[in-house]
Amino acid sequence: MSELKVTIDPQEVGMSAERLALIDSYFKDYVNDGRLSGYHVAVARYGQIVYNSTYGMRDAEAKSPIEQDTIYRIFSMTKPITSIAIMMLIEDGKLQLTDAVSKFIPSFADTKVFVSGTAENPVTVPMKAPMQVWHLMSHTSGLTYGWNFWDEVDASYRIAEAKFLAENPNPTLEEVCDRYASLPLEFEPGTSWNYSVSTDVLGRIVEVASGMNLEEFFQTKIFGPLGMHDTGFFAPAEKHSRLAALYSFSDTEAKKTRLEEMGNRWLSRPSMLSGGGGLVSTAYDYWQFMQMLENGGVLNGVRLLSPNSIDQMTLNHLPNNQDITSFGMTLGWDQWYSGLGFGLGFAVVTDQAKAKTPCSTGTFSWGGMASTAFWIDPVEEISVMFFTQLMPSTSYEIRPYLRTLVYGAITE
C-alpha cells in the first residue's frame, strides 16, 4: 500500500512537533462533535513530511476508519491537474495560451455576452474578441456555474442543464461543452473573474489537442509517470470499500447528512469526464502531484513541465495585479478572496496583509467542494493538504484555521 510517512524530525527543518500536534487537538473536535466524519492532514517543509495524521471515519455509519489509502472525491482539486495537462500540451507545441477556444471547440465562435433580459429570454451581443485559452485557465472567460445562484446567467445554466440532461442522460464532454458555448457569458472574456465551468472546457481542449480522451491523457501523461495509481474518474469495484462516504453540512444536532446517491456517482466510469471536478484520489497520490509542482515540474527524475511553466502558472494573471475581490464577481464572498489573485489554475496570494493570512506572498492553492484543500508556499517551502468529505467547502472555516496552526509551528 502506498502511504505517506513522516520523513524527518520537525526540529531539523525549523518546525515544532509540539505546535504541529495542535492541528490534531483542534480538528479532532470537529470529528468528536459530529461536524466531520474524519480527516487526513499532512504538512511538509523542504519536501520532507513533518506531520501526517488521520483521525475519525471514512464511513461513519459503517464505522470504517480513515486510513492511509482512503480514496476521496477531490472535486475542484481536479482543476490544477487539468491546467497542468494544458501546459504540457503548450510545451509540446500543440496550442498557445492566446489561442482562441473556438480553434478547438468551434461552437465557441458563436458564443454571446449577456447584457439584459431574463434567463428564459436573454438579450445578448457578440463577443468583442474571441475567448482565449488563458481566459479559461484564469476563470476570466465569462462562463459560470449554475449553482452560483447569483443572477440570470446562472439561472440560464440551471434551466439548460435540466432540459439537456432530460434529453441526454449520459452526455459526453464534447456535448456538454457545446451546450456551454450556446449559453450567454456573464461578461466579455478578460474583463472580470468568475468561478466557472472553464476548466471542464479546458478538459475538452486537452482531448482535441492531444487526440486522447481526458482519462487516457491523465493516466498516460500524469498519473502513470507520477505513480498516482489510485487517482481517476471513478473508484473501480475492487476499491469501492476504500472510497470515503460523502456528507453535507446540516444545521441540526446531527451536524452532517450522508449523500448516498450523489456519493455513488464515483463507483463507475462517468460518460462526461470532468476536468473541473471529476477525480477521486488519495492523500499519497495528490502528494505526488504537489511535490511535482513544488519541485518545478519534476518528481523522481520524471519531468512533466519546465520550471518556467510552473512559474508562469503561479503568477497572478489578473490585470494590474488586482485581487479577485477588486476584479471579480464575488458577491458576498470577499472574505474568501481578499488578497488573492489568480494564475493559470491556482489562486495566488498577492497581498498577505489584505489576505489576513500568515502565508507568504506567492503561495498558491486551491480546494474542493467537499472541504479538501492544499497549498504550497514557495518562500517558506511549506506544503500542506487536508482531506475530508463534507459539502460545501464553506461549511466551516477549515482552511484559515489550518493555515494558522501550520504557520504557528514554524520556529525558524
Buried b or exposed e, range 347-356, using 16+ CB within 10 angstroms? bbbbbeeebe
Instruction: Determine how β-strand 64-65 pairs with β-strand 48-59.
Output: antiparallel
CA distance 274 to 280: 11
Residues 172-226: tens digit of each pLDDT: 999 999 999 999 999 999 999 999 999 999 999 999 999 999 999 999 999 999 9
411 has pLDDT over 80: yes
Cα separation of the two ends of the chain: 34
Instruction: Give the pLDDT band of residue 336 (cuts 50, 70, 90).
Output: confident
**204 CB neighbour count, 10 Å cutoff:** 25
322 pLDDT exceeds 70?
yes
More confident residue, 329 or 117: 117
pLDDT classification of 1: cutoffs 50, 70, 90: low
How much is the average pLDDT of 272-290? 98
pLDDT above 70 covers what percent of the chain?
99
Average pLDDT, stretch 57-68? 98
Grid coordinates representing 252 are 441540526
Q: What is the pLDDT of residue 332?
A: 66
The answer, yes or no, to whether residue 334 has pLDDT greater than 80, is: no
pTM value is 0.97
Q: What is the CATH number of domain 86-210?
A: 3.40.710.10
* Across 51-63, average pLDDT: 98
Tell me the average pLDDT of the chain: 96
The mean pLDDT of 106-126, rounded to a whole number, is: 97
- Is the pLDDT reported for residue 329 higher than 90? no
**Other CB atoms within 10 A of residue 33 CB:** 10
Query: How confident is the model at residue 2, as a pLDDT?
Result: 83
Give the whole-number percent of the chain exceeding pLDDT 90.
96
pLDDT over threshold 70, residue 307: yes
Would you say residue 20 has pLDDT above 90? Answer: yes
What is the rounded CA–CA span in Å between residue 378 and residue 48? 14
CATH number for 10-78+228-407: choose from 3.90.1150.10, 3.30.310.50, 3.40.710.10, 3.40.50.10790. Answer: 3.40.710.10
User: pLDDT tens digits, residue range 147-169?
Assistant: 988 899 999 999 999 999 999 99
Q: What is the pLDDT of residue 377?
A: 98
**Mean pLDDT lowest for which of 91-95, 289-293, 313-317, 334-338?**
334-338
Domain with CATH 3.40.710.10 in the chain: 10-78+228-407, 86-210
